[in-house]
């Protein structure tokens, strides 16, 4: 299996509740390694650009407002099959549908305030990592 990198964001609902450590522990227990990490406040422009793929969706405006409502922790996770593994650990978008033991099942407040983001494919992972990090920021 290939070693991959994926972008993770710990969302404002989770930083507000001070549970970033608990979330990172879930990644580490699953065999994912944090190879870059930064706590930032997204600007409206950054949030709009990051979620541009959803620009036509009815939830876009609300999502941008939520993602700029507090600090986030952007991270690069590395490991075998990291993209799929991270999404497995995260659980389904809707916490009501998320499997037991997943981050979203245990921590998400709602479909929108669902605690974490994870890239969904190799191409989006590469683009999303580049959005926040330069090669020099990533130490494997």
Which positions touch ligand RTP (CB under 6 A)?
59, 63, 93, 111-112, 114, 117-118, 120
Active site residue 54: no
Pick out the residues of the known binding site for ATP. 11, 59, 87, 93, 104, 114
CB-based contacts of 70, cutoff 8 Å, min separation 6: 12, 15, 16, 41
Least CB distance to ligand RTP at residue 41 (A): 17
The active-site residue out of 9, 77, 117, 118 is 117
How far apart, in whole angstroms, are the C-alpha atoms of residue 46 and residue 90? 23
Measured between alpha carbons, how far is residue 130 from residues 1, 53, 124, 126 in Å?
23, 16, 10, 6
Instruction: Considering the complex, state which of residue 36 and residue 102 has its C-beta at the smaller distance from ligand RTP.
Output: 102
Least CB distance to ligand RTP at residue 110 (A): 8
Instruction: Considering the complex, state which of residue 43 and residue 62 has its C-beta at the smaller distance from ligand RTP.
Output: 62
**Which positions are catalytic?**
117
């Amino acid at each position: 299996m290939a070693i991959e990198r994926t972008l993770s964001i710990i969302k404002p609902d989770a930083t507000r509740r001070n549970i970033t450590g608990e979330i990172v522990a879930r990644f580490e227990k699953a065999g994912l390694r944090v190879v870059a990490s930064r706590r930032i406040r997204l600007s409206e422009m950054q949030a709009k650009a990051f979620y541009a793929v959803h620009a036509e969706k009815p939830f876009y405006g609300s999502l941008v407002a939520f993602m700029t409502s507090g600090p986030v922790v952007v991270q690069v996770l590395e490991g075998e099959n990291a993209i799929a593994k991270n999404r497995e650990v995260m659980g389904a978008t809707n916490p009501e549908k998320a499997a037991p033991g997943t981050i979203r099942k245990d921590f998400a407040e709602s479909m929108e305030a669902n605690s974490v983001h994870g890239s969904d494919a190799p191409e989006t992972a590469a683009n999303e990592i580049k959005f926040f990090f330069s090669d020099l920021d990533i130490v494997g």
